[in-house]
Every structure is written in structure tokens, then in C-alpha cells.
């Protein structure tokens, strides 16, 4: 695995498999910035559709982002498509 940064500060992670680049994933702080923006506005919940619209994501990309946020225990999803932002004391 090789990590690279571009001029805008985005992190690219390149996985190598058998001396060939298998896939390239661009990781950004979009998810964390979105959660920070919501909490700064006093909101503690959002829907999958709101996330897609705000960040310009496809349905699959939004589902992957939500799964990663759940794994990091930054959000909880009591009902499918509805998410709660978890503050540090509830993680």
C-alpha cells in the first residue's frame, strides 16, 4: 500500500497487487466535514438522501460512507436511511 497527497491535501491510497496497481481510492475529509457542519448548526440527525445531495454522492457511495461512519462509531442508524450523529460521550 502506498499513500500519496495531492496539492489540495487529498489523500490517495494505492493498493498494489502482483506489481500492478489494483485500485486507486481517493479519501477525503468530506464525511467528517459534513458531520462537523451539521453539529455546528445544531442538527444531530440526517437522512441518506440529505447526505447524497450535500456531498454529490451516488447511492452506492453514500451507503459505503455511512458504513464507514458506523464502523468508526461516529453515527448510529436506528432506522434504515435515518442517521444520528454521535457525540464523543456516546461513542
**24-67 pLDDT per residue, tens:** 344 445 888 889 889 999 999 999 999 988 888 888 888 988 99
Q: How does strand 11-17 pair with strand 2-5?
A: antiparallel
For the stretch 68-88, pLDDT in tens is 899 989 999 999 989 999 988
- List the CATH code of the domain at 2-90: 1.10.10.10
Where are the chain's structural domains?
A: 2-90
pTM above 0.75, yes or no: no
Phi and psi at residue 59, in whole multiples of 5°?
-55, -40
Residue closest to 63 by CA, chosen among 26, 22, 31: 31
Amino acid at each position: 500500500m502506498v499513500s500519496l497527497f495531492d496539492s489540495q491535501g487529498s489523500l490517495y491510497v494505492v493498493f498494489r497487487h502482483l506489481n500492478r496497481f489494483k485500485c486507486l481510492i481517493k479519501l477525503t475529509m468530506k464525511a467528517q466535514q459534513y458531520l462537523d457542519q451539521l453539529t455546528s448548526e445544531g442538527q444531530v440527525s440526517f437522512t441518506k438522501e440529505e447526505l447524497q445531495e450535500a456531498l454529490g454522492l451516488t447511492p452506492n457511495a453514500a451507503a459505503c460512507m455511512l458504513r464507514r461512519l458506523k464502523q468508526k462509531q461516529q453515527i448510529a442508524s436506528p432506522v434504515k436511511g435515518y442517521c444520528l450523529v454521535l457525540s464523543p460521550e456516546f461513542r
